[in-house]
Amino acid sequence: MSQSNLAFVRTEMLSARTPPAGETSPLNLLRKSLFGNWVSGLLTVMSLIALVLMVRAIGPWLYHSVWNAHSLSECRQILAGSEGACFAVVRDRWTQLLFGFYPSAFYWRPVLAFGLMLVALGPVLFPPLPRRMLWFSALFPGLAYWLIWGGTLWLPVSVYMGFIVAALLLAISRRRAGGLAAGLALAGAVLWWLFAASPVSTAAASLLPFMLPAVSSREMGGFLLSIVIGVTGISLSLPLGVVLALGRRSKMPLVKSISVIFIEFIRGVPLITMLFTASLLLNYFLPPGTNFDLILRVIIMVTLFATAYMAEVIRGGLAALPKGQYEAAEALGLDYWKAQALVIMPQALKISIPGIVNSFIGLFKDTTLVVFIGLLDPVALSNSIRASTDWQGIYWELFIFIGGLFFLFCFGMSRYSMHLERRLKTDHR
């Protein structure tokens, strides 16, 4: 062979060929995945044995389950001495597990609020949806409050007017006050909420009474309560956690000190202690005669608790970014806030997605802790159901139903986080 015919680099790509039939057969793939080596084979056999034993133990109990009965004694009569589950308690008390003691004539209100919540979350979670729907997402919290708690529609409207006041003050004072514009806008909103919101809503209600029958917080419970506390805490803890994480990394000593003290104090106190504080002590710090709703107090404490953990998760994402990203933002001539919004924070949030969703799932499950301060979450309602004469002695069926619903919510959040990671993935590894 002559010297000119030698090639050290391929000049053309080989065409793709199908793998051998034996390599892609289901039996071969199953062998490689389950019996690739002796350790894998041993674990596979042990897992199969455990699965068979579990099915043999639980299968008959589930297979002979009773769904149509009005008491545990009636279930036992139907089972006639054989082993079987009595899921009739779920069928008999499912409205109580979902809504607590919410008036049955008004069940349509929380159901409508839940449906509207899915519509409001659509443009936030799925960008292909029209961005104009974000206006409804912003208005949904006030609408949901009115639907669930009732009363006058003008109360949430007056609260939203506080944000309008803040926006107007910010636009007016930005040119004159400079860096103090944000503080002035915040002060104006707080003053509006403290002194003007209630009189304005009362006056508007006397002129145009858009009213729904009021429902007290003590009548709410079940998964309605868990969803209200969990969704509100999740929605508020993420933006507050971003602000707190930036505050902890700030170069201003006062801002950094306040952020560090807040995070370390909240993380060092159990959530149950904060819930007892919300239940017993928070009213002592309010003006005399103030009637501060218990669920609202719980939401505040849960949000503060989740915010501290969220700040640390996001700070981890900020610390994981290479220094070159900060230098690139400075090279583009961006100021601090534009650099954070356009360059730094999107990458940090992308890195932090698993930790953020993990915190969200933990927060949603922690809503069951409100049972210790007398609120009727699903666990508290299961205890009250088991204490009734009709269902005294029932146990596993209620907790299987409650655990199944919690699993659906948490599994949905987990799957969405995986979808979000795939959608935001920019490398091809």
353-379 pLDDT, tens digit each: 999 999 999 999 999 999 888 888 898
Token output for 206: 């006397």
pLDDT of 24: 63
Which tokens go with 278? 């919300």
Q: Is the predicted pLDDT of residue 129 greater than 60, yes or no?
A: yes
Decide if pLDDT at 174 tops 90: no
Q: Evaluate whether 271 touches 303 at the Cβ level (below 8 Å).
A: no
Binned at pLDDT 50, 70 and 90, residue 40 comes out as confident
Per-residue confidence (pLDDT) for residue 99, from 0 to 100? 93
Q: What whole-number distance in Å separates Cα of residue 84 and Cα of residue 72?
A: 12
Q: How far apart are CA 271 and CA 358, in angstroms?
A: 17
86 has pLDDT over 80: yes
pLDDT digits (tens, 9 = 90+) for 390-408: 898 888 889 999 999 999 9
pLDDT for 307 beyond 80:
yes
In order, the DSSP letters of 364-425 are: HHHGGGGGGGT-B-HHHHHHHHHHSSSSTT--HHHHHHHHHHHHHHHHHHHHHHHHHHHHH-
Q: What is the pLDDT of residue 424?
A: 81
Pairing of strands 151-152, 211-212: antiparallel
Nearest to 96 by CA among 105, 106, 104, 86: 104
Burial of 328 (0-12, 13-18, 19+ CB in 10 A): middle
**Is the pLDDT confidence value at 60 over 70?**
yes
In this prediction, residue 426 carries a pLDDT of: 66
Weakest-pLDDT range from 73-87, 250-264, 277-291 = 277-291
pLDDT category at 334 given cuts 50, 70, 90 is confident
Report DSSP state, residue 151: E
> What's the pLDDT score for residue 185?
82
For range 6-27, the mean pLDDT? 69
Interatomic CA distance for residues 184 and 165, integer angstroms: 11
Rounded to 5, what percent of the chain is helix, strand, coil?
Answer: 75, 0, 20
Integer CA distances (angstroms), 50 to 53, 56, 263, in order:
5, 10, 44
Q: What is the pLDDT at residue 314?
A: 94
Question: Which tops the pLDDT comparison, 109 or 293?
Answer: 109
Report yes or no on whether pTM surpasses 0.95.
no
What's the mean pLDDT when you consider all of the chain? Answer: 86
